[in-house]
Structure 1
Amino acid sequence: MEFLSSGPLASGWATLALAAVLFGALRLGAFLLKPLGIPAAELSPLEEKLFSLALGITALSLLVLLLGLAGGLNDVVLWTVLVGCVFLRGPANRLERFHFTVVERFLLVVGGGILFLSWLQALAPPTGNDALAYHLAHPREFLLKGGISHLELTRESLWPYQTEMLFTLGLLLQGTILAQLMHWLFFGLTAVLIFSLGKRFYGQRAGLLSALVFLLTPAAFAQSGQAYVDLSLAFFMLAAAYALVLRGTLGETPSALLAGLMCGAALGTKYLALGPAAILWALLLFERRGFKPVFIFMLSALAVSAVWYARSWVILGNPVYPFFAGVFGGHGFESQAGKHVGFGKDWLSFLLFPWNVTMHPDRFGGEIIGPLYLMLAPLALLKPEKTSRTGVILGAFTSLTLIFLFTQSQHARFALSVLPVLAVGAGVGLDKAVSAGGLLKKTVLLVFSCVMLAHGFIYVYRTHKVLAVVSGRVNVEKYLSEHERSYQGHRYLREHLKEGQSVFNAAESRVFYGPKSAVIISDGQPLRESLTRRGVSLRDFLGREQFDMLWLSAGSDSDILAFARAGGYVQDYAYSFTEEPATYEYLFFKKVS
């Protein structure tokens, strides 16, 4: 099947390709520092490389978009671009020397082990729900169509797709492994960025502990193995906050410019960044440093992100489709995402939000944050030093972003956008507890060690499940048939549909593994809204379109099941798949000749 890859050779090639993309992005970003007026010499060598990577990755994503809009997506062109980036000249290369204690080296080994396990996890075939529904499915469609465009009757194809451009690049240059490694990359980059921030403001040990707290977050580890966008959002939001607190190092204007560019990259990644971006802008405004930094922050953020929102506004009449339809002339619809997540939005639920999201992950989407943030972050208040601008900005940003997330959507994985900043607080708290000595030190280290071991076992278990397919001992067909609910259905369609035939899919949102030669129309809110506007019933639509096959489930709407059984179609195939806690019953109806 196109773009699907697995096995040791494919994994090795994908990892080498990732290194090439990373090096090209680093050179491109370093080249951009000088014309942007950012004084690289004022940054530490590590900070310079991290911000260069952030700029380079953003520029590469926008370049892929530009090529896609022009119908010029081609592996030769993209490899040429990456090779060309190698010859770009930036600031003189500087190396930073680190001196680690024995304990700090142990922390590095643990962190490296976690990154290795997460790398193995990312080498397996894709199974993530949103990845197969659109994060990977839409880049696949773009490549099959030869260009990037709006995909009719989809909710997401005009969303901010900066990270999806990296997935498009990955699919084109190698396949699914490289695409997933593009997101895995941000797991490590975010940890290094956390270390860098912690080291600058709170000391090297605090920086290492902060990075390890983040790496020990089960939700982040799970995300790193799939082609999602939450870790890239976390990276760019942290980079934006980091740049903002570097005002004393970079100066007013360069700091605001860099923070705005990083914020723009976050806005180009996900709508969810609108809240944190507005919070950073408000914090900058609150400092009353004049209009110029505020204007530069806004302008640079728009320069990077405006294209995503403008496309949606021009094509669909709503820059944040399908949200806020009432504001944008009815273009869109009310989203039900997050409506039934959490314990409510009253004051008591707000006060208990940190406790509840930690102790009741099943009520917040199932992702596990872990106890370290709740346990360690308050310890940062031990022996409070003189209030610093850095602490105030990071604390205010974290608090206000958590309030925003609580009011908008309480999915635990959405909190990944602010967890890196919170990890710094937790790492500083742990460092202070260790420095305090006595019973507090022993208790905190004991609990931290137990959590580290428990999460380590979870990570090993998760990785163990993919080793067979990653090593090539189990073929991809067998692995996906056992671990991914939609694969058997798509295999049936690929085997039984002829080129140009059509399918009405009212059973499954995951479409990545579907046949490339068939026309698949998925039931969903965009289709239903379109039919309502035209005054056409779903039954009339099905009768008129005369689909060659219907993919339904036992839980499909009764009118669709009634249509399938009323005549003209015969059930040709069925299968069930258990994905805890649910069991899916799929039914396939074939049109009678």
Structure 2
Amino acid sequence: MTLVAHLVKSSTMEKNKIGKFQTLLVYLLCLLIFLIIILETILGMLPPTARDVLIHHLAIPKLWLTNGGFYEVKWADFSYYPMNVDLLYLIPLYFNQDFIANFIHLGFGIGTGWLIYCYLKNNVNRLAGILGVFVFLSTPIVVRMSTVAYVDLGLTFFTTAATLAIIRWRNESYENSRWLIISAVAMGLALGTKYNALIAWLFLSFSVVYLYSRDTGRQWPAIRCGAIFFLVSLLVFSPWLIKNSILTGNPLYPLFKGFFPASMSGVANDAGARSMVSGDAYMGLFQMREILYGENFWETLLTPLRFFFQGQDYSDRYFDGVLNPMLIILVPFAFMNKFLRDQKLFFVLFAVFFILAAFFLDQLRIRYILPAIPILTLLTVMGIMNLFAWAARQKGLFSYLGLSALFLLLLILGGRNIVYLHKYFQSLEPVKYVLKQETRDAYLQRHIRSYTAMRYINEHTPENSRIRLLFLAGRGYYLDRIYEDDATYGMDIMRGLAASAGDKDTFHKYLESLKCTHLLIREDLSVQFLRDNYPPETITRLFQHLGRGTELIHRSNGYGVYRIIPSG
């Protein structure tokens, strides 16, 4: 009896030690999560400077406000994208508090972390849930997206909610249809956020039919459930489809151009939208990357794996984003036991399908596969928990070595995220601005070279001025005037100016045809474009006519503001 009591006491003490250790880990992870959110909050207080924010996500809503309401921005293909999350940004823009849009996007990231926590807590334990939140929120691409007013975290939140709601519906033996409806509504909101959600919509629509049919053996009810999911999602998505149908004749414009007849005039023909669904592809993905970057067939084919190892911020070649290799290295260990095996297989299929489908988009960006990251996070955390359980079951020295090796691996992989956060924080230099030691204008002048010229336009031109951008890549957010660009970002305009340079009257008529009062030109790129495409005499005539037909009223940091002189 004494021996039995001793064994029971030893077992209880061991469990208490494990319990205390897990509690310590929970507190440590909570502290790290809190610090991450604090740092992201500091970065979120900065004025918007991210590229797509200046071109699209805040720029188009601001143009609506500047115009006094919705109007069609024909020169921008991306203005026809669904804009559920962008509509939320109208609120801070209306009150001239644009930085709040950063916090709206951060909120979607935190919301996705909450979904991850709920799933892992309910299916594994609280430690796994907290670990899942940390893994997701500290992933470099999530850190970066959490500090800018993009829409990708909104898409990720809605897609994750739709996926996990289907799992919940299945776990309750398909009896509670509420979860199917919740999933469909979330999917519809995802579709209304970004076209990438079409990938998840296709996968989940077929999954509803397949899972119900396989689990119950009833095919017609399975088809009915699939139809409900599809149609409810479509209904939520439909306002954007109707808008595009009215404006362009194509509900999914600018996708599927080859399937829908053009019914509009003056809409930009974006030659850059060369995806598999755009209808105007010019070269294949493999050929394009070979020409641009010298990549061979196998390098390009392995891109879905390279996402996790070679990503770099602001690099088109390396996918403009950073992931952590742990999100793919540790996934196989989720299958060390049969617990939740069907759900794990479902998650793997979803992630693989989404990543491979996104791989065939014309521009390879890590943020385009962001909806797969929460799913990979779930699998990664389950793999980590399985490895810990396996190491703990070993005896003596083997258990100690196994746990030590696992801790070292996680420290190295997790440390990458912390190092990235530190470097990213330093790159934005937020401290002076947040402490009010630097003005908003001074901060923007340091980070956006064209800002000084735009500020001049805002302060020294009539309110009814119309600005034409040349070689600014559409970055017009900080203009408080109506402005226009085109799909070639000014190259077509420069070609038109060069073609009209033979005659003064023809040149001036072309200037007037632009229907603008001022030109804002990035001068180094415009000169480079002309030198690469035209002989010196054509360039000389162009600048002579430009000097007569316009007045240079401001120049700073390589950007010139030209007032078009009215004829007569």
Structure 2 Cα separation of the partners of residues 103 and 150 of structure 1: 53
Look up the match of 1:510.
475
- Distance in 2, matches of 1:574 and 1:528, equals 21
Tell me, yes or no, if structure 1 residue 222 matches structure 2 residue 137: no
Matches within 5 A, 1:31-110: 101-110=23-32
What residue in structure 2 maps to residue 549 of structure 1? 518
3-state DSSP of counterpart to 2:437: coil
Aligned AA for 2:195? Y
Larger Rg belongs to: 2
The offset of 1:421, in angstroms, is 0.7
1:479 deviates by: 0.4
Structure 2 counterpart of 1:407: 360
Partner in structure 2 of residue 445 of structure 1:
407
- Matching residue within 123, 130, 142 for 2:64: 142
Cα shift at 1:127 = 0.5
CA contact 2:552–2:562 (8 Å) conserved in 1: yes
Higher deviation after alignment, 242-251 or 335-344: 335-344
- Correspondence for 1:276: 200
Alignment match, 1:523: 486
1:100 shift after superposition: 7.1
Within 1, Cα distance between the matches of 2:205 and 2:493?
Answer: 37
Q: Distance in 2 between matches of 1:111 and 1:105?
A: 10
Q: Does 1:493 align with 2:415?
A: no
Q: Could you say which residue in structure 2 is the equivalent of 1:233?
A: 155
Q: Distance in 1 between matches of 2:331 and 2:309?
A: 13
Q: Which residue number in structure 2 is paired with residue 589 of structure 1?
A: 562
Match of 2:272 in 1: 335
- Once residues 548 and 352 of structure 1 are traced to their aligned partners in structure 2, the CA distance between those partners, rounded to angstroms, is 46
Question: Which one-letter code corresponds to 2:559 in the other structure?
Answer: Y
SS of the residue aligned with 2:525?
A: coil
Q: Take 1:477 and 1:487, find their aligned partners in 2: how far apart are those partners?
A: 8
Aligned pair 1:245/2:215, yes or no?
Answer: no
Summarize deviations over 1:100-151 as a string: whole Å, max 9, x none: 7121121111111111111111111000111111211122222233323322
1:266 to 190, 197, 221: 190
Choose the corresponding residue for 1:209, options 119, 128, 131: 131
Q: Note if contact 1:564-1:570 (Cα within 8 Å) is conserved in structure 2.
A: no
Larger deviation, residues 551-560 vs 321-330: 551-560
Q: Which residue of 1 aligns with 2:441?
A: 477
Q: Please say if 1:295 is aligned against 2:268.
A: no
Aligned residue identity for 2:368: F
Checking the alignment, whether the CA contact within 8 Å between 1:245 and 1:393 is kept in structure 2 is no
RMSD value, Cα: 3.1
Aligned to 1:22: none
SS across alignment from 2:343 = helix
In 2 relative to 1, CA 345–268 (structure 1 residues): closer, same or farther, beyond 3 Å? farther
| Shift in Å, 1:568 | 1.6
TM-fit CA distance, 1:314: 1.2
Q: Secondary structure at the match of 1:368?
A: coil
Paired residues for 1:346-425 under 5 Å:
349-351=300-302, 353-361=304-312, 362=315, 363-381=317-335, 383-385=336-338, 388-408=341-361, 409-425=363-379
Per-residue Cα deviation, 1:159-206 (whole angstroms, up to 9, x for no partner): 211001111123235621222211111121111111111222233222
Shift of 1:232: 0.7
Distance 1:209 1:310, change over 3 A: same
Determine whether 1:313 maps to 2:245.
yes
**TM-score where L is the length of structure 2:** 0.77
Paired with 1:124 and 1:335, the residues of 2 have a C-alpha distance of 31
Q: Would the aligned equivalents of 2:467 and 2:484 in 1 still touch at CA under 8 Å?
A: yes
User: Which 10-residue stretch deviates more, 132-141 or 267-276?
Assistant: 132-141
SS in 1 for 2:99: helix
Amino acid at match of 1:371: P
Deviation at 1:356, TM superposition (A): 4.8
Indicate which of 30, 39, 42 corresponds to 1:120.
42
Evaluate the alpha carbon distance shift between residue 174 and residue 198 of structure 1 in structure 2; reply closer, same or farther with a 3 A threshold: farther
Letter in 2 for 1:277: W
Pair 1:490–1:375, CA change in 2 (3 A): same
- Measure how far apart 1:503 and its partner are: 2.4
* Equivalence for 2:266: none
Gap runs ≥5 in structure 2: 1-20, 264-268, 276-284, 392-398, 502-506
Query: Residues 528 and 588 from structure 1, CA distance in 2 versus in 1: closer, same or farther, beyond 3 angstroms?
Result: closer
Contact 1:160–1:269, Cα closer than 8 Å, also in 2: yes
Amino acid at match of 2:180: A
Q: Which runs of 5+ in 1 are unaligned?
A: 1-98, 577-584
Secondary structure, counterpart of 2:196 in structure 1? helix
Instruction: Assess if the C-alpha contact under 8 Å between 1:183 and 1:226 holds in 2.
Output: yes
Distance 1:148 1:484 in 2: 27
Measured at CA, do residues 546 and 233 of structure 1 come closer, stay the same or move farther in structure 2, by a change above 3 Å? closer
The amino acid of 1:318's aligned partner reads: N
AA paired with 2:357? F
8 Å CA contact 2:471–2:490 kept in 1: the answer is no
Are 1:568 and 2:549 an aligned pair? yes
- How far 1:571 moved relative to its partner? 3.9
User: 1:281 deviation in Å?
Assistant: 0.8
CA deviation digits over 1:350-409, x for unaligned, max 9? 34521354224342333111222133223223x231563322221211111111111224
Counterpart selection for 1:436 from 368, 387, 390? 390
Identity of matched residues, %: 23
Q: What SS does structure 1 have at the residue aligned with 2:471? A: coil
2:49–2:448 CA contact under 8 A, matched in 1? yes
User: Deviation of residue 526 (structure 1)?
Assistant: 9.6
How many residues matched?
Answer: 481
Q: Give 2:519's aligned amino acid.
A: L
Distance, in Å, in 1 between the alignment partners of 2:115 and 2:549 is 60
- C-alpha displacement of 1:242: 0.3
Once the two structures are superposed, residues 466-522 of structure 1 have per-residue CA deviations (whole angstroms, 9 ceiling, x without a partner) of: 121122111101000001233122112123322323322112111111023xx4222
